[in-house]
Structure 1
Amino acid sequence: MAENGEEKLLAVARHIAKTLGRDESMADDILQIFSNFDGRFSRDKLSPSEKAAAAAVAAADADNPRAYAALDRALNELERQISHFVTSDNPIWADAADASAFLDAVDELIAAVRDWTSASATDKAVLACLGRAEDLMQQAMFRLEDEFRSLMEVGGESFELSRPYGRGESNGDLSFDSEDEDDDEQGGDGDERQVPVAQPLGDDFDIVIDALPSGTISDLHEIAKRMVAAGFAKECSHVYSSCRREFLEESMSRLGLQKLSIEEAQKLPWQDLEDEIDRWMKAMKVALYILFPSERRLCDRVFFGLSSAADLCFMEVYRGCAIQLLNFADAVAIGSRAPERLFKVLDVFETMRDLMPEFESLFSDQYCLFLRNEAVAIWKRLGEAIRGIFMELENLIRRDPVKAAVPGGGLHPITRYVMNYLRAACRSRPTLEQIFEENIVSPKEYSDLDSRASSSSLSVQMAWVMELLESNLEAKSKIYRDSALCSVFMMNNGRYLVEKVKGNDLGLLLGEDWIRKHTAKVRQYQTNYLRNSWNKVLGVLKLDNASLAPNADTRFLKERVKLFNVYFEDTCRVQSSRVIFDEQLREDLRISATKLLVPAYETFVGRLQGVAEMRKHSFKPVEEIKARMDELFRGRGALGGGRK
């Protein structure tokens, strides 16, 4: 603090001397007065550039030969000092004293050029000196640029990973490479420069990369300050970004993500694209949680106090990698709307959504804003893609043709596909609700679903898909000419719908009323099936009193028994070809059918045995009827099941 105060005091005195002195001798007189007060204000304390600047100020209103002489002497001294370092074959920063001396000389030159330029001298000789100074400045900057690059490259060889840097912990043995490269390093070309890279570390992203030692960062900062002050900010940014970009690009390549254009990504087979999406998700998290924040931190430290240069460097370092990552997400967003792509597109959407705070914090400056806006736009396009996929699912259901009937009235493939699809989709219910609540316009057809009027947009969407599926199934059921088989088909598919909806998020979206309504529909299909399947058998068992009179024709009664046996066997044979996929449904049907038939048969046999001539007639035992019914619905001859 004392040294800073002394420097400021000296600077004030020098400024007063230069400002009040009309010529160089006057400045000397003023400094002599200060010197009598304090020895620190002697003429000897002035640097070469300050002496020359004082002379230039004195010559501002007239050509002054003495000013040129002072400028020439100061410039000669600076040329001698700077040329010694510029022409040296050894790295200047290999010796701390040399680095300090070189920076001091550069500071003198920067101050001299600034002061001489502001003096507005018109003498050609003075202007020539100024031209020489600017040439010398360029030489110094070129050497600083080389030193900057050398420090970046050498310092990068000793990077470390810390977890996290805020706690001061270090874990130097962490590596982003899952492969052992010792053999490659030992057997490779010794002259080839090895680029240190970052490689994936699993799912824990609480890591920051200290890519350069603190001492190197401090040296880089001192060089950056001089280059920016001298008007060489772009050159400094270029050399910085070229070194760091190589590190970042190599680190990204180790994550296994291919460099694909949007067109190339769209041409990938779906299975390959799925694998690439998995790699992309990991790469995005590593980039946004580790690599980019670490680069932001490094830029801020190297260019501390030079925010514009720091922002520019950061953008130039990560722009290529960021565009590569965003382009891939965009390729997914504008790609095919095939329903099977939903789940991977959801993964990409959720990754972008979860990383949006990182985009907001990292890409907030003037140079990065366009990438942040692009990230937001792509994220929204992914949401549009997901809504588009559901529209394509609707079209798929509408277009599914009424082909050959499903054997036995079993479960239709479209039913299984759509229900399993919706259940899987609803595992991402919060995400889908977010997507469908944003800018969704319900189609006109939704107005028919008045019971859903107050539901969420996702609920309306799911109800609409279910409505389309039911309509499609009803159209398919008409292909069955047998009304009983039509009922079996609708019963099977309706039961599957209800069971797939119960006890999960899809059921929560559709609501209890939907479940009750469709459970009642299934019961009605069951009733229709039983009536249409067994009505012929039950009709034979109905006898009027006249046919049981003592003088009644027993041939008629015997014919009824024969018809029953024929109809019963024929019905069992026909029903054995039916498919009831659900075990509980088969049991319910067995119980219902048995309750319909067995009591009616017992009554039928009992009444016939009341006729004298029929007492000795051979009837099927009731136990045999029960056994056949059990066998039909549960045993080897049972109505077949199906896959869920």
Structure 2
Amino acid sequence: MADNGEEKLIAVARHIAKTLGGHTDNMTDDDILKIFSNFDGRLREKLTDSNLPGEAPTGSAKLELALKSLDRQISSYVAADRPIWADSSAASSFLDAVDELDSLIREWSPLGSDKSVSSCLDRADYLLQQAMFRLEDEFKGLMEQGSEMFDLIRFRDGEPESANPDYPSDSDREDDFDGEGSEIPVARPISDYDIVIDALPAGIIKDLHEIAKRMVGAGYGKECSHVYSICRREFLEESFSRLQLGKFSIDEVHKMQWTDIEDEIDKWIKAVNVAMRIFFPSERRLCDSIFFGLSSAADLSFMEVCRGSTIQLLNFADAVAIGSRAPERLFKVLDVYETIRDLMPEFELIFSDQYCALLRNEAVTIWKRLGEAIRGIFMELENLIRLDAAKAAVPGGGLHPITRYVMNYLRAACRSRITLEQVFEDSVAPPGASGDYMKGDERGLLSSSPLAVQMSWCMELLESNLEAKAKIYRDSALCSVFMMNNGRYIVQKVKDSDLGSLLGDDWIRKHTAKVRQYHVNYQRSSWSKVLGVLKIDSSASSPTEASKSLKEKLKLFNSYFEETCRTQSTWVIFDDQLRDELRISVTGNLSLAYRNFLGRLQTSPEFGKHADRHIKYSVEDIEARINDLFRGNGGSGGGRKRQ
């Protein structure tokens, strides 16, 4: 009921209206106030304060009225003890209220210069902040709830095949928890990458999207991304821990034994493949679903989720790249290089946005650094070959360990020929080589692939090193055997591997000819003295003198032959075919000369039919002794004495 002041005011208004000829008998007090509110501000204020039925408030009072209503609704949800999203209708009502509050603020913000409106907007902003805090809590709760329900789905030809049979059922899934109250389910070990992790159920993803949309729209996108990334990082960290990949700093890796690093590289290769082919694409997919239509928030959230794990993976690869460049490390470094190279399309695709540019660029940088490490390892190999000192002669002129090591090393390296071609493709000459590092026709390799140049240079160094080592042998024949053994081994290793196609037929022909020349040198320096005494002396003045000469020559032959066989009985020809070729060659030359000599002896007047008494070795004995050479076992002893 109106007080006395109101009654007087209405009475005056009614009198004025009647005086002006108006008919006020059927008009209510509210009608009277409404008419005069157009003329007098006090009446308009009275009309607003009385909240006349059927009329919307105007001015700041309208904002005040709407704010009071929203405050009652939102505050009740903010103060609720149980999760709002436990009741879908409550969640829907809460979001509607938040939408109304946000719309109200946007509508009235242009009038914020008005003092009464500004005061209301301050209260509205505070209320919105409280609503965002509660939405943040609800978002976190939904994330944690959804993580407990994730599953692995195997896809084939674009369609889901079935739930992963290796994944535990609800009854035994407790084994995946850490027992400390943090129930973060993780993927079991996998055998291929043809799977996608559906980390959250579709219904929860939809709810999270609705919350994210409100938070980002209200200017709380970073807060939403932050709580999202914390939850998903925990999932990734637990998942990586199941891959048994250790967390090592670069310094810690450098202090490890190489055998331990090799083990860690094997684990790292599996982990980075799982990360780039399964974990990160699944996280990208989840991010894009929850932050659908909110690309900036999606990109920021994804980067925050994956940054730590990615840096951990890349730091290990970087530690390998900048570590020791000992030659034995080549093959594992190649494994790391090839892994990152093969995953570069994934790095480019998954980390394509502006927030992930740093991670993408870091992967490229470390990939190049690994290439530098590989080239550096070959420089160390060159130094190893060049500086390998001749501490002692190899017994029997056999295969030198440096030859076996280098050739097997290069053969193994060529199994990664495509990768090495890529690593050396920017090289004009082998690292550390001077302009005259090639000789003669080998300069033609400069027009070949950089890898071919590198390999040829390594073998040029090896050959020079072997020539220096051959000088240790005082016997020139044994020196030739040493070079023959090592040269033959080099040629065979080249022909039987990718080295052959890499270096080409001309290289093989040239070095095969070198081996033949060593063969000729051996025969010339080893058997020329033996063959020399078998030559017939035609200068004898009488048959008696000629017979005496034959007898002396026979004694000399026996002496030289036995000495040569005794000396070479400990020599070694490692290659069966080369050994047979050498025996046949020596036997052919010596047997023919010795047979002719015996024939001349048996026809001489002095010896005649008694010549056999003076012959210690038959032709067959000579051949048997030669066939027993080059085994490195000391031979089988002397020949038989003819009776």
TM-score range, shorter chain: 0.7 to 0.9
TM-fit CA distance, 1:451: 2.1
Counterparts of 1:116 and 1:392 in 2: how far apart (Å)? 73
Contact 2:136 2:223 in 1 (8 A): yes
Asked if the contact 1:86–1:143 (Cα under 8 Å) also holds between the matched residues in 2, the reply is yes
- 1:627 matches 2:621: no
The within-5 A match list for 1:421-570 is 421-442=409-430, 443=433, 444-446=435-437, 448=439, 449-547=442-540, 549-552=542-545, 554-570=547-563
1:345-494 alignment runs, 5 A limit: 345-442=333-430, 443=433, 444-446=435-437, 448=439, 449-494=442-487
Tell me how far apart the structure 2 counterparts of residues 214 and 184 of structure 1 sit (CA, whole Å).
23
1:167 to 158, 170, 174: 158
Q: Quote the offset at 1:554 in angstroms.
A: 3.8
CA distance in 1, matches of 2:171, 2:511: 62
422 and 600 in structure 1: CA distance in 2 versus 1, 3 angstrom threshold:
same
Partners of 1:412 and 1:549 lie apart in 2 by: 54
> Is residue 276 of structure 1 aligned with residue 268 of structure 2?
no
Kept after mapping to 1: 8 A contact 2:526/2:564: yes
- Give unpaired runs (5+ residues) of structure 1: 1-24, 30-50, 56-65, 640-644
CA contact 1:397–1:414 (8 Å) conserved in 2: yes
Equivalence map 1:145-224=2 (5 Å)? 145-164=136-155, 167-169=158-160, 171-174=162-165, 182=172, 185=175, 189=179, 192-202=181-191, 204-224=192-212
SS in 2 for 1:624: helix
Give 1:47's aligned residue: none
Q: Any conservation in 2 of the 1:175–1:198 contact (CA below 8 Å)?
A: no
Hey, what does 1:39 align to over in structure 2? none
Deviates most, 76-85 or 416-425? 76-85
Q: Is 1:614–2:614 an aligned residue pair?
A: no
Change in CA separation of 1:440 and 1:195 when aligned onto 2, cut-off 3 Å: farther
Q: Find the residue that maps to 1:546 and give its secondary structure.
A: coil
Which letter does structure 2 place at the counterpart of 1:597? Answer: L
Residue identity over aligned pairs, in percent, reads: 65
Q: Are 1:78 and 2:70 an aligned pair?
A: yes
Q: CA deviation at 1:181?
A: 11
Q: 2:342 corresponds to which letter in structure 1?
A: D
User: Are positions 1:133 and 2:124 aligned together?
Assistant: yes
SS at match of 1:516: helix
- After the TM superposition, which of the residue ranges 602-611 and 444-453 deviates more from structure 2? 444-453
Q: Tell me which moved more, 217-226 or 571-580.
A: 571-580
Match of 1:37 in 2: none
Deviations 1:188-231 (A, max 9, x none): 85x713211124312x2121111000000000000000001111
1:308-344 C-alpha deviation (Å, 9 max, x unpaired):
0000000000000000000011111111111000000
Mapped to 1, the partners of 2:476 and 2:429 lie a distance apart of: 40
1:98 pairs with 2:90? yes
SS at match of 2:82: coil
- CA change 1:430–1:221 in 2 (3 A) is same
CA distance in 2, matches of 1:342, 1:181: 47
Q: State the AA in 1 paired with 2:282.
A: S
- Secondary structure at the aligned position of 1:612 is classed as coil
Aligned AA (1:120): G
Are 1:299 and 1:314, in contact at CA under 8 Å, matched by a contact in 2?
A: yes
- The AA in structure 1 aligned to 2:390 is V
- Structure-1-length-normalised TM-score: 0.85
Cα deviation, residue 79, structure 1? 0.8
Q: Distance in 2 between matches of 1:556 and 1:335?
A: 74
Equivalenced residues, count: 576
Q: Distance in 2 between matches of 1:278 and 1:458?
A: 27
CA distance in 1, matches of 2:251, 2:498: 37
Structure 2 CA distance for aligned equivalents of residues 176 and 580 of structure 1: 60
Unaligned runs of 5+ in 2: 1-33, 39-53, 637-643
Q: In 2, Cα distance between the equivalents of 1:604 and 1:634? A: 29
- C-alpha displacement of 1:440: 4.7
Residue in 2 that maps onto 1:311? 299
Q: CA–CA distance in 2 between the matches of 1:245 and 1:425?
A: 39
AA matched with 1:91 = P
Aligned-partner Cα distance in 1 for 2:547–2:178: 107
CA–CA separation in structure 1 for the residues paired with 2:587 and 2:367: 59
Shifted more, 556-565 versus 546-555: the winner is 546-555
**Aligned counterpart in structure 1 of residue 593 of structure 2, from 584, 600, 604:** 600
Query: Pick from 242, 248, 251: which aligns with 1:254?
Result: 242
Name the SS of the counterpart of 1:258 in structure 2: coil
Query: Distance between the aligned counterparts of 1:161 and 1:231, measured in 2?
Result: 34
For normalisation by structure 2, the TM-score amounts to: 0.86
Q: Secondary structure at the match of 2:469?
A: helix
The structure 2 residue matched to 1:112, chosen from 104, 107, 119, is 104
State the 1:88 CA deviation. 1.1
More helix by share: 1
| RMSD between superposed Cα atoms in Å | 2.5
Runs of 4+ residues deviating >4 angstroms: 174-177, 180-184, 186-189, 439-442, 633-639
